[in-house]
Amino acid sequence: MDRLMPKVGQIVKVLRGRDPGEYAVVIGIVDDRFVWLADGVNRKFDQPKKKNLNHLQIQETISSEVESSIRETGRVTNGKLRFAIAKFVELKQVEAQEKGE
């Protein structure tokens, strides 16, 4: 396997498909090629999107809240997914501003 395997709770950027440029959270791993994604807005936890890893850009950030919730209860609220993505996007904007100065 030549690419990094994402973990549950990890943030990914969608590169191809209906929502390129959008961020989502890995909520399940199918096999070494596919993962289940949800963002809490368009893709709720109960109807995740099955995505090919080749169509994703894996980010370094792993949401500990999402990861522990799924590990402990087997599910996560859509609010937690939205919060994790919002926090990540905010962090990226701050980093971009710092680099710009």
Q: Evaluate whether residue 1 is within a structural domain.
A: no
Q: Give residue 99's pLDDT.
A: 85
The total domain count for the chain is 1
Q: Say yes or no to pLDDT of 1 above 50.
A: no
Q: Evaluate whether residue 5 is within a structural domain.
A: no
Q: Evaluate whether residue 2 is within a structural domain.
A: no
Q: Give residue 100's pLDDT.
A: 79
| Range(s) of the domain holding residue 91 | 10-100
Closest CA to 57 of 93, 88, 79: 88
Q: Give residue 101's pLDDT.
A: 66
Contact 21, 14 (CB under 8 A): yes
Q: Give residue 4's pLDDT.
A: 74
**Residue pLDDT, tens place only, 3-58:** 578 999 999 999 999 999 999 999 999 999 999 999 999 999 999 999 999 999 99
Q: Evaluate whether residue 3 is within a structural domain.
A: no
**Residue pLDDT, tens place only, 76-100:** 999 999 999 999 999 999 988 888 7
CATH number at residue 55: 2.30.30.140
